[in-house]
Structure formats: structure tokens, C-alpha cells
Chains A and B, each alone.
Chain A
Amino acid sequence: MPGAIYAEGLVKTFGDVRALDGVDLDVPEGTVLGLLGPNGAGKTTAVRCLTTLLQPDSGRAVVAGIDVLKHPNEVRRSIGLSGQFAAVDEYLTGRENLQMVGQLYQMRAKAAKARAAELLERFNLTDAADRPAKTYSGGMRRRLDLAAALVVSPPVMFMDEPTTGLDPRNRQALWEVIEELVSGGTTLLLTTQYLEEADRLAHDICVVDHGRVIARGTADQLKAQTGGERVEVVVHEPEEITPASEVLRGFGKGEVAAESHTRKLTVPVTGGAKLLAEIIRELDTRGIAIDDIGLRRPTLDDVFISLTGHAAEDAVGDNGEEGEGTTTPGRAQKAQNAQNAEKEAAK
């Protein structure tokens, strides 16, 4: 049985640019699919096709069991969409925005009013409920936009780069909301260029580049595909590089890479933490002093680079897809990812 979101061979061209070049997706009910890719990879186009905003040139899509091309209006009753830009009317108050969306979801005025109050409360917007949305901060607007997408608790949600442009605190808060939503049984398709976000929220990840899915699997599977774990050792003295690399060769599954100026040695391994302990014991036995040692698992950044040949942030929309704003979270995000990986390894 196809999942809550199912797509087969989606193709969409703009002029001579193939924004989608045969995309297949299958998202089981109650799970989160992360569509990961750089600007212009085709993520937004995919979401627009699945949410009835854009008609694909060919292919088939089924959302919540309904054929998207044949019954778009039926699909619209069962989806919530939160786009890249907080799509709220800035001259309307938060409350008026939510009531309007509720009524357009065909709720009765009274029900829409009650639901709006409930959502404002839950998204911490009650104090600002009767102020025009243009007075809201970026984080508040995003919350309002997300609340608008949740007016009917739709079984299937689409979020197109939900946290782009948010500060870390607001991003964290939004992640918590999303996790809670999914635990309630909602199926979610989420696009992101933050690798960390896909890692944290998504059960399955599809890596997209140039309109194609170039890899899919769980975060762990994708990481394993990139070459698995490796041990990194930083020795105290440059002359210890040679004896240390002999030790590592004995435990490793491949070539030992050494950088003399950083005194860092790296070797691919299998066996994880247990092996790490053995290596430490052996180095100790031979009296090799070390400054640092760690088990490093590849980050999704590594996955991305090994799959596409370029990092997520420097692939600027070369296929000319519209609407994907330029953001430069990549660098900081990457540093963060590396740190997290090290922390994990240190445990």
C-alpha cells in the first residue's frame, strides 16, 4: 500500500530547465521525510507539485490516498502547507489570520474562531493575538504561519524550509513543535538545507540535487554509505606520528592518513567504541602520548559532499528555480555539526 505521500516519476520543466527530473517518493503514514538539498535542487518544486500548486509535466502523485492531479480540491482538505515565507496577512491580526484560514478550510465561523483561540494559546501568541501581524517578530510570524497550516490538524503536512532565517532559539522551539505534531500521527514532508535539521527530525531522508533523488535512506544508512566511522588521534609530539600510525594500521580497515602539521592521524574502522578503548590501551602500552582521540562518524555534510561533489551551501541555484531565497547558514551549521559529532565520539 502506498504511503501517505506517494510520488512516481514526477517531472517538471521550466523552459529548458528540468526542475524535477523523475522524482519518486514514498512516505509511510506517521513518518517524516526530509527532502535535503541545496538551493535550486528542486525541493520547492516538488512540494508545490504535491500540494496542488503546480501541475507536473508527467508523473503521478497520491497524497492522503487521493490522486493529486485528479482531485486537487479533495487533497487540499487533507493537507497543511507552511512555505518558505511566512504567508500571513500582515495587516490582519494573528487571530483574524487564523479565523480566515479556518473559514476557508470550510469550518463554520464559530468553530474557526474557537480553533484560532486554541492555536494562539498553544503557539504562545495570545498576548499578540489582536495586534496586526506586521508588528510580529520573525519567529512569531513563523509560528503564526505554522498555526495557519495546522488549523484543521491535517493528516499530511508539508513544510518548505520551515526554519530558514530563524535564530537558534526559535529553530529549537519550532523543532519541538514539529516533533510533537508527528508524535500525534501526522505525516510530514519537510524540505531543508540544514543537514542537522534532517538528521534530527526525519525518519527517512532523500537527498536531492538537480531535480533528482540521488540517495535515500535513514540518516544512519546514509552515513554508513559514505564510509562509516573513523578514529582520529592527535599525538603530542611530531616524532610519535610514525609509531602511532603503526598501532592504528593494526586496528584499522584501510590506509592511515597523517597530517604532520596538526599531528593528526585518521583511520577508517569498524567496531566503534570497543575498538577505541583497545586503541587507547595499546597507545598507552607503547608510551605514546596523545592530546586527543575520538571516534568520528560522518555527518550528513560529509554524506552530501561525497554524493554531490559539492557542499550544501555553495551550490547556488544553478538550475534557476524560483523562490528559494539565498541563505547562508551552511558554514556555521557545519561547524556546529562537527562539534556535535566530536561530542558524540567523546562519550
Chain B
Amino acid sequence: MTAVTDAAPISAPKGVGGVGQSVRDSLVIARRNLIRMGRIPEMLIFGLIQPVMFVVLFTYVFGGSIQVGSSSSTQAYREFLMAGIFAQTVTFATAGAGAGIADDMHKGLIDRFRSLPMARGAVLTGRTLADLVQTALTLLVLAVVAVLVGWRTHENFGKVLAGFGLLLLFGYAFSWIGALIGLSVRTPEAATSGGLIWLFPLTFISNAFVDANQMPSFLRHIAEWNPFSATVQACRELFGNLPPGFQTPDAWPMQHPVWASLIWSVVIILFFRTLAVRKYRRAAG
């Protein structure tokens, strides 16, 4: 170990500041998280097994016995189901983001980042962006599996793509909830379970797996206003997967599901991003 300092000490260069620096720093962090993902491929694989299992289980086990719309055909349910599984899958990004950030806290990396002259939200934004890439990959694989078990779309390519766009945005919004959870718990394990537990009632009290019209009225109202249902309904419309004889509920989000989904996603992002960034700035390592 010879000379460490070749010149007199100097401060770091001044950052460009503002949005430019935020974007740049976020991309540096996103890149870091993507490199990590590539080196822990088992995370990606386990993240895929669960939704693929759901596709297979729901299609073959429940497929024949759940009635949607006026149809009880297996094919109608298959097509109905996929949007629900896709939406459920993207929200699992919550657990990933939460666990990742809790792990960084635990290992002292958040302290290091916070001592650097970088943009405030960049550590969290970078993480959520990396999760978005992972979500996109997962969706791609899942869509292929869905097609293999008989899922078909009945709208033009642009609309189908728009459906996937809504799903990605929705998943991105949920990864901000995960970021907040990750900053609030003590261990990565707690962040994983804390990021998943509440997702189950959220996804099941919705139109994801069954036709909400058949629920008791109290649950039906919750399901109709559930942000999850809006995204699922929007995807069904955009994919052309609404079963024959399906009665679209009168609730506003069900009548305008694309708008409802967009609004929900944006509101969730704004709300949870604000809280998470504030929490990050005060985070104790």
C-alpha cells in the first residue's frame, strides 16, 4: 500500500443539481441493482415460479368451476383470469423493493449513500426503476406461459400493449409502497412478509379471480373501488378478455377503468414517494 493521496485533498466536483442530477444518480443506482439481480438469478426465478404456479392452478383446478359473466366455459375463465394474475404479479414488486432497501439499511449501505453528495431520492428511485425492469421481464415470461395454456387477446396490438403499460405503472407504484416498508422495518425478512401479507386480501377482495358481481354487496363495494380492480378491469377491456354476458358494475372506477387505474397509480406514487423520500432522509442505519 503505497501513496494513497497523490495530490492535496480536494472536494468532489459540484453536481449539476436539479432534475439532471436526480436522473443521473437514479440511473447509477438502478444499474447497481440490475447488476445485483443478474448475480442473484435465483431471486428472479423464484419470482417467476409463483405466478406461473397461479396460472396453472387457477386454469386447471378452478377453471371449470368458477363462473364469470354468463359463461362457465373454461376458456372464458382462462382469458378472464390472466389480467388478475398479471396484476397480482406486478404488485409483488412491493416485496422485492422492500427487502432490497431493508437489506441496504441493514448492511450500512444506506449510510454510505446518505453521506454522499447525491440526489436525495435517487437511492429509492434507482431501486424502483430496477424493480420495474424485473417486473417487465417477469410479465414477459408470464405472458408466454399464459399463451401456452390458452390465453388469447381479442383487441389490436396497441391496446394490448397499453394494457401492459398500465400493469407496469401499477407495479411501479407498488414498489414505492415497498420502499417505504423497507425503510420502516429492521430486517429484510420483515420487509418481505410486510410487503406481502396485505397484498392477499387486496388481491382477493377484488375482481382479480372472480366476478365481483357475485360477491355480497359489502365486499362488492370494496372490490369495485379497490385500485387493484381498476387495473384488472382496464386490462380485461384492453385485452378483450371480458367474458360474454359480463355486467360492468355501475361504480365509476369500473365504468372508466383505464382512467381509474392511471389515477390510482399516480396517486400512490406521489403519496408513497413523498413519504419514502422523507423517511430516507431521516433513516437510521
Contact = CB atoms under 8 A, between A and B. Distances in A.
A27 to B, nearest CB: 14
B112 A101 contact: yes
Interface residues of B, number: 42
Interface in A81-140: 81, 83-92, 96, 100-101, 103-107, 118, 122-124, 132
Contact of A85 (B1, B9, B15, B107): B107
B4 A81 contact: no
A91 B39 contact: yes
A161 B270 CA distance: 39
B13 A107 contact: yes
Contacts of B15: 106
Interface string B76-108: 000000000000000000000000000000011
B12 A173 contact: no
Given A177-B4, A181-B4, 4 more contacts: A87-B107, A104-B29, A152-B10, A323-B285
Contacts of A96: 32, 35
Interface stretch (B115-123, B147-155, B203-211, B229-237): B115-123
A51 interface: yes
Contact of B114 (A53, A107, A118, A176): A53
A244 interface: no
The 9 closest A-B pairs by CB, nearest first: A184-B5, A87-B108, A106-B15, A76-B117, A155-B9, A105-B12, A87-B112, A77-B12, A85-B108
Contacts of B282: 55
Interface size grouping (class) on chain A: 35 or more
Contacts of B28: 100, 103-104
Contact of B10 (A89, A104, A155, A180): A155
B189 interface: no
21 contacts: A48-B111, A54-B284, A64-B11, A73-B117, A85-B108, A87-B108, A88-B109, A89-B36, A103-B28, A104-B29, A104-B113, A105-B117, A106-B15, A123-B1, A123-B4, A150-B4, A153-B5, A155-B9, A177-B4, A180-B3, A185-B9
Contacts of A177: 1, 4
Interface string B218-230: 0000000000000
B200 to A, nearest CB: 30
A51 B118 contact: no
A83 B4 contact: no
Nearest to A102: B12
B11 to A, nearest CB: 4
B11 A91 contact: no
Contacts of A337: none
A78 interface: yes
Interface of B: 1-16, 21, 24-25, 28-29, 31-32, 35-36, 39-40, 107-109, 111-118, 122, 282, 284-285
A101 B116 contact: yes
Interface of A: 48, 51-55, 64, 73-74, 76-79, 81, 83-92, 96, 100-101, 103-107, 118, 122-124, 132, 148, 150, 152-155, 173, 176-177, 180-181, 184-186, 322-323
A86 B107 CA distance: 8
Given A81-B112, A104-B25, A186-B5, A91 B10 contact: no
B116 to A, nearest CB: 5
Contact of A81 (B6, B24, B111): B111
Contacts of B2: 122
B117 to A, nearest CB: 4
Nearest to A186: B9
A183 to B, nearest CB: 9
Nearest to A182: B5
B117 A87 contact: no
